[in-house]
Amino acid sequence: MDKPSVREEAPRLGAKVRALRRRENLTQTQFAEKLGVSASYVNLIENNRRPLPSAMLIKMAQLFAIDLATFGDEQDTRTVADLLEVFSDSLFESHDMTSVDVRELATNAPATARAVLHLYGAYKEARESLDNLATKVRDGEGSSVSVDRTSVPSEEVSDLLQHHGNYFPELERIAQRLWKDGKLAHEELHQGLVRWLERTHGVEVRVDRWSQDRNVLRRFEPKTKILHLSEILPTRSRRFQIAHQVGLLLASDAMDAIVAESHQLTTDESRALARVALANYFAGAVLMPYDSFLRSAKEERYDLDVLGRRFRVGFEQVCHRLTSLRKPGAEGVPFHMVRVDVAGNISKRFSGSGLRIARFSGVCPRWNVFAAFQTPGMIRIQHSKMPDGSEFFCLARTVAKDAIGYQPQQTLQAIGLGCKLEFARELVYSDGYDLGNVEGTIPVGVTCRTCERQDCEERAVPSLRQPLRIDENVRGISIYSKA
């Protein structure tokens, strides 16, 4: 057997080396001098004609303070998946983009690929705003039109969490130090946090009547140093909101550093929302300390109800914390998590399992996160298989937001949590489940537009990966499927 060529063996990292050099405003000659190699060698690496030696990669990391993870292929994989979803839009039907073209773009011009994703996101937002405007004008509400711009900041924050693997070691360290310095105890964590706020920052915690400040669950007044919490919050939520405020006071510099270093955040709105997300992360780290929570998770085989009761937190908080157990050398099962409403809108997404979650299109209706709405409060199990052959073990359950009185309608959402099939036996939910049963596997996709499955009765739109052929004399299991 012939030995593979160097180019086939080596990862294609030339574009990333070039991007780093340009970021530092260096010529190839200047860059080569710093690395102790020739300019021609740098040129060959940048054009993928020579592999990037590990020694040179380590030296670049030391010289330019880069994270070696940025040279991994996970980001490229996510970018390719995002681009495929973008180019599946009917807007690009006449351009004949292939998966090879998309991968070339993501690998050789990553900055351009990110720009395309950003541009498409802005286009989607503008199109949705225009549709909303048209609806309001048609309904006689044109004089009070307001444009909703929340979608882009939320997407950018999701990208930030994904980039960091939803693990922030500095916030974990600060939370751990708080437990030690504050002499916190699990049995009286609520009072311990209240005492810490008063002792270190002179902050008083008050629980106000709902009628005093409706629609506000937490309000901090820096001048008076009073933290107001609504009586409508259950005890576990009050504890979380106190820990959130502690994070804003204690870990503010660390959060600012994360936000400042992020290229995912491009607007003031995104940066402000990111601080809220990081404060929530910190609160989770305080309520569920990393080492004890990981130990309990493994001991109880990730039983979500047991973990929730042990740490006195809600179902969603447990799921979210499980996705953040990525400390090197002390990792938990790598999970993905998604939160959706009954209309299919995704309000939270993170994938540590490798599962592709749609960004711009509707999610595959075969995901069990949607079936959870049929049996509120019950956990639904699914062994799913993606079109590329990858298999996942997923569970889903609805969660109801805490009621704020009799009149308002209670909000119902569904949480989906899952991992690669190889980790399924580590979960208590796999007990009694025949993971080897091929017939029990549910074929799912990411979105209808990017899924090539033609034997799906759930298909809502034709796939752009297959030519659309309609025979009026034959009816398949869906109007877009082959008979």
Ramachandran category for residue 218: left, alpha or beta (phi over 0 → left; psi -120 to 50 → alpha):
beta
- Calculate mean pLDDT across residues 421-444: 92
Task: Report if residue 227 sits inside a domain.
Answer: no
What percentage of the chain reaches a pLDDT higher than 70?
82
Lowest mean pLDDT of 19-28, 36-45, 282-291, 446-455, name the range: 446-455
Q: What is the signed CA dihedral for 454, 460, 464, 468, rounded to 10 degrees?
A: 70
Q: What is the pLDDT of residue 309?
A: 96
Residues 60 and 78 in one domain: no
Cα gap 121→99, rounded to integer Å? 20
CA distance to 210, 289, 426, 467, per residue, from 231 (Å) = 6, 26, 39, 58
pLDDT of residue 149: 39
Confidence tier at 359 by pLDDT (50, 70, 90):
confident
Could you tell me which residue, 320 or 354, shows the higher pLDDT?
A: 320
Bridge partners, residue 346, by sequence: 340
Give the pLDDT of residue 83.
78
Please say if the pLDDT value at position 74 is more than 70.
no
Of 56, 72, 88, which residue is a domain's last? Answer: 72
Query: Is pLDDT of 154 > 70?
Result: yes
Measured CA to CA, the distance from residue 180 to residue 370 in angstroms comes to: 42
Is 299 within the bounds of a domain? Answer: no
Q: Does 288 score more than 70 pLDDT?
A: yes
50 and 88 within one domain: no
Q: Which residues contact 143 (CB under 8 A, 6 or more apart)?
A: none
Its pTM stands at 0.73
To which residue do tokens 């980039």 refer? 163
Q: Looking at the structure, do residues 31 and 79 belong to the same domain, yes or no?
A: no
Task: Note the pLDDT of residue 481.
Answer: 65
Give domain status of residue 62, yes or no: yes
Same domain, yes or no: 34 and 44: yes
Contact residues for 164 (Cβ-Cβ < 8 A; gap 6+): 258
What is the pLDDT, as a whole number, of residue 20?
83
Question: Same domain for 59 and 92?
Answer: no
Q: Is residue 402 part of a domain?
A: no
CATH number at residue 58: 1.10.260.40
pLDDT tens readout for residues 372-429: 999 999 999 999 999 888 999 999 999 998 766 665 677 899 999 999 999 999 999 9
The angle subtended at Cα 372 by Cα 370 and Cα 377, nearest 5°, is 155
| 19 and 68 share one domain | yes
Identify the residue with better confidence: 133 or 360.
360
Residue 101 and residue 86 in one domain: yes
DSSP-derived pairing of the beta strands 226-230 and 442-443 = unpaired
Residue range 182-206, pLDDT digits in tens: 999 988 999 999 999 999 999 999 9
Q: What is the predicted pLDDT for the residue at 143? A: 43
In a domain, 183, yes or no: no
> Is 78 a member of any domain?
yes
Number of structural domains (the chain) is: 2
Closest to 316 (Cα-Cα) out of 291, 292, 286, 280: 280
pLDDT confidence of residue 12: 60
Asked if 24 and 53 sit in the same domain, the reply is yes
56 and 22 inside one domain:
yes
Give the per-residue pLDDT at 147: 39
Task: Label residue 342 left, alpha or beta by phi (over 0 means left) and psi (-120 to 50 means alpha).
Answer: alpha
The residue ranking higher by pLDDT, 220 or 112, is 220
Q: Is residue 65 part of a domain?
A: yes
Give the domain range for residue 86: 73-108
pLDDT value at 72 more than 90? no
> How many angstroms separate the CA atoms of 401 and 316, rounded?
10
HEC profile of the chain: CCCCCHHHHCCCCHHHHHHHHHHCCCCHHHHHHHHCCCHHHHHHHHCCCCCCCHHHHHHHHHHHCCCHHHHCCHHHHHHHHHHHHHHCCHHHHHHCCCHHHHHHHHHHCHHHHHHHHHHHHHHHHHHHHHHHHHHHHHCCCHHHCCCCCCHHHHHHHHHHHHHCCCCCHHHHHHHHHHHHHCCCCHHHHHHHHHHHHHHHHCCEEEEECHHHCCCCCEEEECCCCEEEEECCCCHHHHHHHHHHHHHHHHCHHHHHHHHHHCCCCCCHHHHHHHHHHHHHHHHHHHHCCHHHHHHHHHHCCCCHHHHHHHHCCCHHHHHHHHCCCEECCEECCCCEEEEEECCCCEEEEEECCCCCCCCCCCCCCCCHHHHHHHCCCCCEEEEEECCCCCEEEEEEEEEECCCCCCCCCCCEEEEEEEEEHHHHHHCHHHCCCCCCCHHHCEECCCCCCCCCCCCCCCCCCCCCCCCCCCCCCCCCCCCCCCC
Ramachandran quadrant class, 90 (left: phi over 0; alpha: psi -120 to 50; beta: rest):
alpha
Residue where a domain stops, chosen among 58, 92, 108: 108
Choice among 141-145, 323-327, 343-347 with the minimum mean pLDDT: 141-145
If we measure between CA atoms, which residue out of 258, 282, 256, 281 comes closest to residue 178?
282
With b meaning 16 or more CB within 10 Å and e meaning fewer, what string describes 80-102? bbbbbbbbbeeeeeeeebeeeeb
Q: What is the pLDDT of residue 76?
A: 65
Q: Is residue 97 part of a domain?
A: yes
